[in-house]
Structure formats: structure tokens, C-alpha cells
């Protein structure tokens, strides 16, 4: 199996889970080790994988790596909306050109691909609407990040239809868990609290996200690899929808802090209001269900992980907050 972007948050957790389930799995990882990649996330399995540092947009390299594998699981991407608003350029190269380069390699060598995507490709929903995203919801991305992911999904679909590439796709809601970069909402607030800084809520904090533990996302990906139908898309989400301010209040409670111990900061431009997933298809067709039954349960486990793994996140904290200070958030 060739796993792209496995020094990042979800990819690293994927490799750990896949090897836990099947210790004999032969895994090669390709990762450019951007600011978001950290080889230390794979330190417990370092001697059981082959690690290649490289760019997925490098056609020659991808051709060589894909020729040597049975299956590609494609996580690598620029993943942070705020960064895409500051400088969209790497999002175009990694997310669009990178996916194109992988598609050309799997087409040439006749290999199976699973493409990891996001619910952000659908745009956003009204706060009070009963609607949820489904596999057939039209694409309507808002940010340079989500537009680049939408473009990559379209490329995968076109390669399936035009060239008979053997691929599946999945679009997941917001993940959280171990090895999550401290630029993202939950790890930023957890590590703010752990370093004596106040959490930062964008705008009025009313935006809604659906929180899925990374292990539940990756269990769904493994199920798709095992039982998913070629050419199909699967939406993945826990159903745990919350307004940001409620997530923060719950986190403050888990960490023993007063409910109002946070600051409001200026909003993200174009901030998507609400994401919500209808995951009926993967639940009914593949039998997926999240193991973390509530956000609280997942939050407690995640806070414990950050408390116990300061070595992993502390070196990233200062530079990340400096980046936010420049953006005024
Ligand atoms: P991340 O930013 O933590 O990790 C991305 C990894 O990709 C990093 O290790 C980075 O070094 C690597 N990478 C980036 N550009 C590369 C390139 N050109 N060549 C090789 N490697 C490169 O991201 P994540 O949160 O783990 O997201 C992984 C995937 O899941 C992405 O495709 C993202 O769109 C998708 N996704 C994320 C979430 C979420 O909540 N984080 C939800 C749904 C879908
Ligand atoms: O929905 C899936 C997407 O979830 C993935 O495709 C993206 O890769 C991933 O980064 C995530 O995108 P979001 O923009 O939803 O996640 P983020 O963690 O940046 O922010 C979550 C919410 O919290 C969002 O409404 C913005 C808000 N926020 C974020 C930060 C960093 C704050 O209020 N304060 C903050 O400090």
C-alpha cells in the first residue's frame, strides 16, 4: 500500500491503525514534510514502513512509487483554510497538480486508488436548515482550500469515467484526535489552555461543524478499501454537530476551566456557516458506525493525548501563534 501524506494528522493515524489491524501490511509512505508533516508521528512504526520524502506533484517519482504498489491511499494535501486565504498557491500545486500526477500514475499502471476528500467541497448550509450533505449534493466550494479539493475530486471522477481508473472517493467531516496540527481549532484551543493562553473563537462562534474522531474516519477508509464499490463516493460523519462556542464550552469543562474563559477574535473571511453529513450510505452499505459515541468521549481522550505528548506539539506552538498574530486572529 502506498499512503500519501502519512506524516500528517489523518494519514499518520491511518498507518498506525492499518498496521495495528494487519501487522504484515507492506506500507510505503510518501510525504513532502511540509510545515504540517512530522515524521515523529510515525516513530512507533518507523521500522515497519518505508518512508520516502518527496512531492506528489513529481510525476516521475509518483510513477516509480505507484508501479511498485497494489493500492494508493491519497491523503496528501494542503489542508488549512486560513492558510489558503493567506496564500492559495501551494493548494493549487499540491491538491490539484498532485492529484493529477497520482491519477496519471494509477492510470498507467492499472492500480487501485482511494482519494480522501472533505465535506467542504459542498459549500455550507444555513444554520437553521434541516438539510445535510449527501453523495449527490452539488459542489459549491467557498475557499481556495475547498475549491482545490473540489477540483481534485472532479479529476478523480473524470479519470474513473474516461479511463476506467479503479478508484473510490470519500468526503469526511471535521476530524479531531492525536497528532492534529496545533493550527486547527481543537488542538489550538487545547494547547492554548495548556500553555496559559486564552482560547480564540472566530466571529460570534455560531458556525457549526460535525466532529468525527480520526480513528472513526480511518476505520471507514479501511472498510471502503475492503468492501467499497469502485467508482463510488462515500460520505463520512459522526452526526456530532455543534456550534463552535458549544464545543469550546465543553472543552473548557473537560479541562476544568470556567465556561467563559475565552476571547472572541475577528472572523475568518468567507467563513462557512454549517457543515452536516448524511452518512446513511456508508452506514447501510458498508456497516460503518463511529466507535466514539459522543464528542465528549472523544474530547476527553484527545485532551489526555495532548497532555501526555507535549514533546510532539510544543515545538509547533510558538510559530503557529505567530502566524495567527499576523492574520489578526
Ligand atoms: P495535514 O495538513 O495534517 O497533513 C497533510 C500531509 O500532507 C502533511 O504531512 C504534508 O507534509 C503532506 N503534503 C502536503 N503537500 C504535499 C505534497 N505536495 N507532496 C507530498 N506530501 C504533501 O492534513 P490532514 O488534516 O491530515 O488531512 C489529510 C487529508 O484529509 C487531506 O486531503 C484533507 O483534505 C482531508 N480531510 C481532512 C479533514 C480534517 O478535518 N483534517 C477532514 C476531511 C478531509
Ligand atoms: O470539514 C472538513 C474540514 O475540516 C477539512 O477539510 C479541513 O482540512 C479541516 O482543516 C477542517 O476545516 P475547518 O475550517 O472547519 O477547521 P478549523 O479547525 O480550521 O476550524 C473549525 C471551526 O473553528 C471553523 O468554524 C473556524 C473556527 N475556528 C478555528 C480556529 C483555528 C475558531 O473559532 N478559532 C480558531 O482559532
Domain membership of residue 204 (yes or no) is: no
Q: Does residue 197 form part of some domain? A: no
For ligand 1, pick from 3, 4, 5 the residue to mutate: most ligand atoms within 8 Å of CB. Answer: 5
Ligand 1 centre to CA of 147 (Å) is 15
CATH number at residue 94: 3.40.50.720
Portion of the chain with pLDDT greater than 70, in percent: 100
Q: Between 244-254 and 185-194, two packed helices, what is the crossing angle to 10 degrees?
A: 40
Q: How far apart are CA 65 and CA 13, in angstroms?
A: 21
244 domain-assigned: no
Number of neighbouring beta carbons within 10 Å of residue 260: 7
CA angle 310, 311, 316 (to 5 degrees): 85
The answer to whether residue 108 is domain-embedded is yes
pLDDT of 140-185, one tens digit each?
999 999 999 999 999 999 999 999 999 999 999 999 999 999 999 9
Check residue 261 and give its pLDDT. Answer: 97
151 falls within a domain: yes
With respect to residue 193, please indicate whether it lies within any of the assigned structural domains.
Answer: no
Which residue's CA lies nearest to atom 7 of ligand 2? 79
Helix (H) or strand (E) holding 74: strand 71-74
- Alpha-carbon distance of 105 to 60, in angstroms, equals 9
Q: How many domains does the chain have?
A: 1
Structure confidence by residue, pLDDT tens digits, 7-35 = 999 999 999 999 999 999 999 999 999 99
Is residue 196 assigned to a domain?
A: no
ipTM field: 0.99
Q: What is the pLDDT of residues 74-86, one digit of tens each?
A: 999 999 999 999 9
Domain with 29 in it: 2-181+212-239+275-292
Tell whether 301 is covered by a domain: no
Amino acid at each position: 500500500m502506498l499512503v500519501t501524506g502519512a506524516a500528517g494528522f489523518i494519514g499518520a493515524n491511518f498507518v498506525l491503525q492499518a498496521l495495528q489491524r494487519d501487522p504484515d501490511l507492506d506500507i510505503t509512505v510518501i510525504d513532502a514534510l511540509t510545515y504540517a508533516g512530522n515524521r515523529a508521528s510515525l516513530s512507533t512504526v518507523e521500522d515497519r514502513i518505508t518512508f520516502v520524502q518527496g512531492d506528489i506533484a513529481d510525476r516521475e517519482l509518483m510513477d516509480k512509487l505507484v508501479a511498485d504498489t497494489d493500492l494508493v491511499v491519497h491523503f496528501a494535501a494542503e489542508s488549512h483554510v486560513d492558510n489558503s486565504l493567506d496564500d492559495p498557491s501551494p493548494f493549487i500545486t499540491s491538491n490539484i497538480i498532485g492529484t493529477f500526477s497520482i491519477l496519471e500514475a494509477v492510470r498507467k499502471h492499472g492500480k487501485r486508488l482511494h482519494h480522501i476528500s472533505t465535506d467542504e467541497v459542498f459549500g455550507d448550509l444555513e444554520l437553521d436548515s434541516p438539510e445535510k450533505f449527501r453523495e449527490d449534493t452539488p459542489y459549491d466550494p467557498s475557499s481556495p482550500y475547498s475549491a482545490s479539493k473540489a477540483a481534485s475530486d472532479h479529476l478523480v471522477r473524470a479519470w474513473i469515467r474516461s479511463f476506467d481508473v479503479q478508484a473510490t472517493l470519500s468526503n469526511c467531516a471535521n476530524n479531531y484526535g492525536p497528532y492534529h496540527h496545533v493550527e486547527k481549532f481543537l488542538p489550538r484551543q487545547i494547547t492554548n489552555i495548556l500553555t496559559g493562553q486564552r482560547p480564540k473563537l472566530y466571529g460570534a462562534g455560531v458556525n457549526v461543524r460535525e466532529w468525527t474522531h480520526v480513528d472513526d474516519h480511518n476505520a471507514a477508509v479501511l472498510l471502503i478499501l475492503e468492501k467499497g464499490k469502485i467508482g463510488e463516493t462515500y460520505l463520512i460523519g459522526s452526526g456530532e454537530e455543534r456550534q463552535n462556542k458549544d464545543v469550546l464550552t465543553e472543552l473548557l469543562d473537560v479541562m476544568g476551566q470556567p465556561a467563559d474563559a475565552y476571547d472572541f477574535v475577528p472572523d475568518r473571511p468567507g467563513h462557512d456557516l454549517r457543515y452536516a453529513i448524511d452518512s446513511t450510505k456508508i452506514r447501510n452499505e458498508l456497516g460503518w458506525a463511529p466507535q466514539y459515541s459522543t464528542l465528549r468521549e472523544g474530547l476527553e481522550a484527545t485532551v489526555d493525548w495532548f497532555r501526555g505528548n507535549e514533546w510532539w506539539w510544543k515545538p509547533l506552538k510558538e510559530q503557529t501563534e505567530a502566524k495567527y498574530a499576523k492574520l489578526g486572529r
